[in-house]
Structure 1
């Protein structure tokens, strides 16, 4: 019976070691896939609205805005300026950069004619 208990302890320790190595590998993979957010003053951002109902509808956006970043704190909090000039603070993880279609449409690329043979 004592031999059986020792085998069970060894099996438990082996399972614990393999699970900890698995967690370490998954953490490394997860950290590698995270892209850093580089927010600067004056950036235009969208704010994630987490107060929507659980089933807001297929086409209803969870993002509100655009807002302008007025101040960035060391803790990750950002102070946002709304279009009606009200200031409020939000967690920096709840915002993402806003890329308007106006900027995309302004950039013109000139194409060259292909050579005729």
Structure 2
């Protein structure tokens, strides 16, 4: 997500990564599946990107309060910074200056 406060914009995603159970899973799951005998495994990436902060559509708008609630007090994000980060995201959205991008990975296979 874009932010004007660069220091905070580094800390928020860093703390957000703590929600991931296993950060390296996309690059390690397919080999683990093959080793376990799963056949026809494949990974597909699904990109979500927007330059709009629109609550009615899949966009960063829906994630802003969700991310804020999670990161408060984690990593180097002080709880009092969360309100400022959320307000900044809403202000960027109102000006048409926001951006949000995320890639989700889906790994599938079938039992051999």
TM-score (norm 2): 0.25
TM-score where L is the length of structure 1: 0.24
Higher relative contact order (CA 8 A, sep 6+): 2
